[in-house]
Amino acid sequence: MAADADESQYFVREIETNDGCVLRVKQCYLGDVGCVVWDAAIVLAKYLETEQFQDPSSGLNVWSGSTVLELGAGTGAVGLMAATLGAQVTVTDLEDLQTLLKVNIQDNKALISSGSITAKVLKWGEDVSEFLPPPRYVLMADCIYYEQSIVPLVETLKLLCGPETCIICCYEQRTEGVNPEVERRFFELLQQNFSCERIPSDKQDPEFSSPDIHILHIRRKAQ
């Protein structure tokens, strides 16, 4: 019965990949923001499969062998997609989320062949030396919502990212409460060191996109 009781705390979100495989991502009934697959994570995961990154007809696959670090990974859905595409992925979040991340990695490892994925603790604003040299890509889905985390998040991006790093940030624009001010503050701080390029909807997955979910490519400004 113990195993059943443990399973009962999860419910599954399925994400179909372009080649017909299905990522099965467990979410928690109990817990805080990290325990569900937010819509922005689905939009970002499906964006990784678009033809600018991966085109089987031409053999293009920028993910193959690329180092990828996901911040605020939560359930790990985005990092799992990158790993199935061949990337060498590290998914990071707070200590509380490590069990869920590891469960989802274990449940989906059969879909990962040339790629890899590991889960590690990373608290924004703290030491990032174990994640260096800078990854080729940093992925972030819905990380801009919590006022107290804005300064440490930007600090972590500054510490992690080299001149070649591309941050792909996907977030749902929220108009209620403090959310607009938090977004404004984040981009104000970010743009001191980074430039942002908004990705138009026609470059996103045609089915998994939304007018209020934005994707940005963010790079360090030349010093």
pLDDT in tens, 149-163: 999 999 999 999 999
Residue 179 lies in a domain: yes
| pLDDT band with cut points at 50, 70 and 90 for residue 7 | low
pTM of the model: 0.91
Residue 95 lies in a domain: yes
- Residues 81-109 have a mean pLDDT of 95
pLDDT in tens, 115-137: 999 999 999 999 999 999 999 99
The pLDDT value given to residue 187: 95
Count of domains forming the chain: 1
Mean pLDDT of the chain: 90
CATH number (domain holding residue 71):
3.40.50.150
User: Cα separation of 60 and 199, whole Å?
Assistant: 20
Residue 157 lies in a domain: yes
Q: Which domain holds residue 49?
A: 7-220
